[in-house]
Amino acid sequence: MTRSHITGMKFLASFFFITSLNGPALAANNVRNPGDMRSKYTGASMSCLVANDFYAMHFTSMQQGRNKNEAHDFVKYCQEIPQIGMTFLTLDLLDRDVRNLPIAVRVVEEEFDQDGNPTTSKTLKEVPAKIYKNGTLDTSVDISTPGHYALIAEIGDDMITEDDRLRVPFSVAMPSMQPTPWLKYLAWLSTAIVFAFLGWFGYGFYRRYWNNLLGRTLGSQG
């Protein structure tokens, strides 16, 4: 095996490895779109989990409508809601201990500063603290303006700290951008190049090995 063969194999292997690692990372930076699993789902086919360092909950947003093959008159979404109007928000309390703690809820409209930090511009709804023994916290709000919003749950009856506050950001009627498919095609192309190179190299190695073996066999017979 020559040095050029080894160098070529290392380059192609490194290229393929970096491309495969960057795929999920770059995809995570794309703007969420209505077709992805974070924005819309049918029934219980998706888990829309939200969490901080201490609490994890399942978030559901719903608006009136109907998905194909579903009997109920509401469409479920995660953190991208496609249109303004009456919206129903639900948190399922996954931790049983939390079901014994009072939880206060606020739904707010948010703006972002130059550093991307959210600030509350308007409070749309407040629900006083109470205990949700059945493990389901739900509220509704009529949203009339496209924008960025958040459901904020404050957990506990003592002095509330940031650790006791779970913020669930969501957007309403905001334009979305489909993720560009070039990275997927690049990954396919790199895979094809790697396999083509390995096939070419294996075929060349086989031919050299077979010719050498055939030569030695004929030489020994002569």
Predicted local confidence at residue 88, as pLDDT: 96
Q: Give the model's pLDDT for residue 27.
A: 32
Report the sign of the C-alpha dihedral through residues 94, 97, 103, 109, in that order: negative
CA distance from start to end of the chain:
29
pLDDT at 182: 53
The whole-model pTM stands at 0.60
CB atoms within 10 A of CB 13: 13
State the Cα–Cα distance between residues 176 and 174, nearest whole angstrom: 6
3.20.20.70, 3.40.50.1980, 2.60.40.1930, 1.10.10.10: CATH of 32-172:
2.60.40.1930
* Nearest partner of 153 among 181, 131, 175, 171, judged by Cα: 131
Where do the domains of the chain lie?
3-27+180-221, 32-172
Per-residue pLDDT of the chain (222 residues; tens, 9 = 90+): 544 444 444 444 444 443 443 433 333 333 333 334 344 444 444 479 999 999 999 999 999 876 666 556 789 999 999 999 999 999 999 999 999 999 999 999 999 988 889 999 999 999 999 999 999 999 999 999 999 999 999 999 877 889 999 999 999 999 865 445 555 566 667 788 877 877 776 777 667 766 666 566 656 665
Per the CB < 8 A criterion, the answer to whether 93 and 138 are in contact is: no
pLDDT at res. 206:
65
What's the pLDDT at 147? 96
- The residue behind tokens 């951008």 is 177
**What is the amino acid identity at position 172?**
V
